[in-house]
Structure 1
Amino acid sequence: MSDLEENIAKAAGYLNRFRDRDVLNQIGGEAVPALDGETFETVSPVDLKPLGRIAHGKAADINRAAKAAKTAFSAWAAMPGEQRKKLLHRIADAIEARAEEIAFVECMDTGQALRFMSKAALRGAENFRFFADRAPEARDGKTLRAPGQVNMTTRVPIGPVGVITPWNTPFMLSTWKIAPALAAGCTIVHKPAEFSPLTARLLIEIAKEAGLPEGVWNLVNGFGEDAGKALTEHPDIKAIGFVGESRTGSLIMKQGADTLKRVHFELGGKNPVIVFADADLDRAADAAVFMIFSLNGERCTSSSRLLVEEGVYDRFTTMVAEKAKRIKVGHPLDPETVVGPLIHPIHEAKVLEYIAIGRSEGAEVATGGEKLAGPGGGCYVAPTLFTRATNAMRIAQEEIFGPVLTAIPFKDEDEALTLANDVRYGLTGYLWTSDVTRAFRFTDQLEAGMTWVNSENVRHLPTPFGGVKNSGIGRDGGDWSFDFYMETKNIAFATTAHGIPKLGA
């Protein structure tokens, strides 16, 4: 039996539980169907066959979950940080123990390759451990002295929060949002994306088995127009953490306006990788290929625009094209696969439409540019490189969210900066140069929340993560996460009997 055949057999075993019975919501510590009994079907992008029936939550289910989160909030917020720390570490341990199950289910539900999803559970566990260790100090503040006065700041959890997560790497991104919320002392209503809901069910089961109190973490599946809308409008939900499209972020902001919800958005990107002639071109090419073709190109931080100094443009794009041609597209459970099927036929159609748009705009296809007949007949698209493009083309301005890279030449540093900033997004940037003074100049003016110099995206959990412009609001990571999930309070103590103005004397 080959590795692929063995993995398919294992995955079938893990997935049987979802086929045997409906995938339920979790409210107040109980696994429950939607109140109206409705379900929706989730399909695998590998072969478009059903993986399971999912409870279709709506406003009534969200209301029930929000009430459960509100009821559980006081006790959870009052729990000592050391105790929350122990609970979150138990969740991390349980995630690691089920790492293979999580990876295999995620691969079949999303189409992401096992070589990347094998690390999903470990990264999720790391997120829980990181924020668990900070739970005891989450409320700590500062002492600020003034003449005759000492100010003491502290932080308190904001209350029940809504977490809405995307379909591309759902398990890891759920832990990235949920772990700091729990560490801060918030209770949660989680609505996962409808295209890939299965590992959210595994995650909340893990939390319950680890001893998380009832109602602290609630799960409601559904669609944006029903469950999502109800969550963002619910008066008991004090904040919304959302990862997804910029258009959806705008809609959530409008829906939450009447209840003055705090929002944290990690939205889309059209991220440039800028390569100067003095860069290490071999390393830059490897990094550019990795950042656009790993995770099927379905990542907000993908390097989807390749800006190359014109003197090395032809050489560099040839290097990238050759690497892209050698990328293995195949079954996500094949250990050799790099690019698996895209998440859903709707998304596949969108990506193929953009490839057609690129051709119609006059860009050249250096490699790829077509649908592939992959194993199972699912949503396979070849890794694609467009060359001789301009920044005015739609393929250079709009987020495709697939394995499509658009290469644009530039003359000098000024033009490179103009091109890099000439989009409505500003999530990340990747700069390749051996000139350290240029690196300081360029990154200072680049309109991006995060920039990596001479590196692909290498995350360091204490650092802030987030974008500017249409790429988001707020920052995750380190203490920045607690700033979102907690309210800062100031208490001023008079240290002298100062003069008080006398009115009406």
Structure 2
Amino acid sequence: MSDFENNLRKAEAYLERFKTGGVSNHINGEAMPALDGTTFETISPVDLKPLARVAHGKAADIDMAAKAAKAAFPAWAAQSGDARKKMLHAIADAIVKRAEEIAFVECMDTGQTLKFMAKAALRGAENFRYYADKAPEARDGRTLQAPGQLNITTRVPIGPVGVITPWNTPFMLSTWKIAPALAAGCTIVHKPAEFSPLTARLLVEIAEEAGLPKGVWNLVNGLGEDAGKALTEHPDIKAIGFVGESRTGSMIMRQGADTLKRVHFELGGKNPVIVFADADLERAADAAVFMIYSLNGERCTSSSRLLVEASIHDTFVAMVAEKAKRIHVGHPLDPKTVVGPLIHPVHETKVLSYIELARSEGATVAAGGTKVEGPGGGCYVAPTLFTGARNDMRIAQEEIFGPVLTAIPFETEAEALSIANDTQYGLAGYLWTSDVTRALRFTEGLAAGMIWVNSENVRHLPAPFGGVKNSGIGRDGGDWSFDFYMETKNIAFATAAHNIQKLGG
């Protein structure tokens, strides 16, 4: 039996529970159907066949989950940082033990390949371990001296929070949001994306089996227009952490306005990778290819615009095109596969429509540009590169969220910066040059929340993660996450008698 065949056999065994028992909500420590008994179907992008019936939660389910989170909040918030540290490490240990199951389920639910998802659970466990170790210092503040006064700051958890996660790498991104919330002392209502709900169910199950108290973490499946809307409007939910489209983020802000919700958004991107002639071109080409074609191009930080200095443009683009043509498209559980099927037929249609739009706008296909008849007949699209593009084309301005790269030449540093910033987004940027002073100038002017110089996206958990413009509000990572999930309190002590005005006496 080949590794691929063995992977398929294991995946079927892991998925059987969902195919026979469906995907339930999880409220106050109990697995339960939607209160009105309704379900929706989730399919695999590999073969478009049903994976499970999923509980279709709505406002009543969200209300029950929010009340459970509210009831559990005082006891969880009162636990010591050391106790929460121990609990989060136990969750991390439990995630590691089920790493293979998580990876295989994620592959079949999302179309993401085992090449990248094999480490998804370990990344998730790492997120929990990082915030476990930070939990004891979550409430720490500062001492601020003033004449005759001593100010002491501290932080307290904000309360029950809503977490809404996307479909592209749902397990890892759920841990990225939920781990710091738990470390801070918050309780949670989690609504995963309806296209990929399976590993969210595994994650809450793992957490409670590791000992997390009932009601601290609640899960409600549903659609954005019902469960999502109810969560963002619920008065018991004090904040919403959301990862997804910019348009949806704007909607969440409106829905949460009446209850003055705090929001943290990681939204879309149209991220440039800028390559100057003095760069290490082979490394830059490898990085550009990795950042657009890994994870099927379905990642917020993908480098979807390739800006190349004109003197090397044709040579460099040819290097990228050759690499793109050699990428293996196939079944996500095949160890050879780099690009698997896109998440859903709806999204496949969107990506293919942009490819047709590019042709109509006058861009040239240098690689890919077609649907691929992959195993199972699912949502396979070839890694695609467009040349002859301008930055005012829709393919250079709008987030495609697929394995599609648009190359644009530039003549000068000033032109490169102008093109890079000429978009509504500002999540990430990637700069390739051997000129240190240019790197300092360029990164100062680049409108992006995160910039990597001579590197692809290499995450450092203590560093801030987030974007500017339409790419988001707020930052994850390190203490920045605690700034969102906690309120800062200042206590001022008089250290000397000061003049108090006497009124009425």
Coarse TM-score class (shorter-chain normalised): over 0.9
Whole-angstrom distance in 1 between the partners of 2:23 and 2:419: 47
Partner residue of 2:151?
151
Whole-angstrom distance in 2 between the partners of 1:20 and 1:472: 39
Q: Deviations over 1:70-127 (max 9, x none)?
A: 0000000000110010010000000000000000000000000001000100000000
Partner residue of 2:359?
359
Query: Shift of the alpha carbon at 1:338?
Result: 0.3
Whole-angstrom distance in 1 between the partners of 2:504 and 2:417: 63
- Map 1:103-252; keep pairs closer than 5 Å: 103-252=103-252
Partner residue of 1:66?
66
Partner residue of 1:97?
97
Query: Shift of the alpha carbon at 1:504?
Result: 2.2
Whole-angstrom distance in 2 between the partners of 1:39 and 1:143: 53
- Code of the residue aligned with 1:34 in structure 2: it is A
Partner residue of 2:405?
405
SS at match of 2:241: strand
Q: Deviations over 1:431-459 (max 9, x none)?
A: 00000000000000000000000000000
Identity %: 82
Partner residue of 2:472?
472
Query: Shift of the alpha carbon at 1:222?
Result: 0.2
Partner residue of 1:49?
49
Whole-angstrom distance in 1 between the partners of 2:447 and 2:61: 41
**TM-score normalised by L of structure 1:** 1.00
Whole-angstrom distance in 1 between the partners of 2:128 and 2:229: 28
Partner residue of 1:315?
315
Partner residue of 1:373?
373
Whole-angstrom distance in 2 between the partners of 1:187 and 1:504: 47
Query: Shift of the alpha carbon at 1:22?
Result: 2.1
Matched, 1:493 2:490: no
SS at match of 1:74: helix
Q: Deviations over 1:149-192 (max 9, x none)?
A: 00000000000000000000000000000000000000000000
SS at match of 2:167: coil
Q: Deviations over 1:372-423 (max 9, x none)?
A: 1000000000000000100000000000000000000000100000000000
Partner residue of 1:301?
301
Query: Shift of the alpha carbon at 1:336?
Result: 0.6
**TM-score normalised by L of structure 2:** 1.00
Q: Work out the number of aligned pairs and report it.
A: 505
Whole-angstrom distance in 1 between the partners of 2:361 and 2:279: 30
Whole-angstrom distance in 2 between the partners of 1:436 and 1:495: 50
Query: Shift of the alpha carbon at 1:502?
Result: 1.3
Whole-angstrom distance in 2 between the partners of 1:217 and 1:193: 17
Whole-angstrom distance in 2 between the partners of 1:302 and 1:188: 29
SS at match of 2:53: strand
- Map 1:456-467; keep pairs closer than 5 Å: 456-467=456-467
SS at match of 1:371: coil
Structure 1 unpaired stretches of 5+: none
- Code of the residue aligned with 1:365 in structure 2: it is V
- Map 1:306-455; keep pairs closer than 5 Å: 306-455=306-455
SS at match of 1:89: helix
Query: Shift of the alpha carbon at 1:58?
Result: 0.2
Query: Shift of the alpha carbon at 1:501?
Result: 1.0
- Code of the residue aligned with 2:200 in structure 1: it is A
Partner residue of 1:75?
75
Query: Shift of the alpha carbon at 1:2?
Result: 1.3
Whole-angstrom distance in 2 between the partners of 1:376 and 1:22: 22
SS at match of 1:26: strand
Q: Deviations over 1:189-234 (max 9, x none)?
A: 0000000000000000000100000100000000000000000000
Query: Shift of the alpha carbon at 1:424?
Result: 0.2
SS at match of 1:5: helix
Whole-angstrom distance in 1 between the partners of 2:7 and 2:77: 42
Whole-angstrom distance in 2 between the partners of 1:29 and 1:334: 36
Whole-angstrom distance in 2 between the partners of 1:74 and 1:54: 31
- Code of the residue aligned with 1:306 in structure 2: it is L
Query: Shift of the alpha carbon at 1:499?
Result: 1.0
Q: Which runs of 4+ in 1 moved over 4 A?
A: none
- Map 1:242-321; keep pairs closer than 5 Å: 242-321=242-321
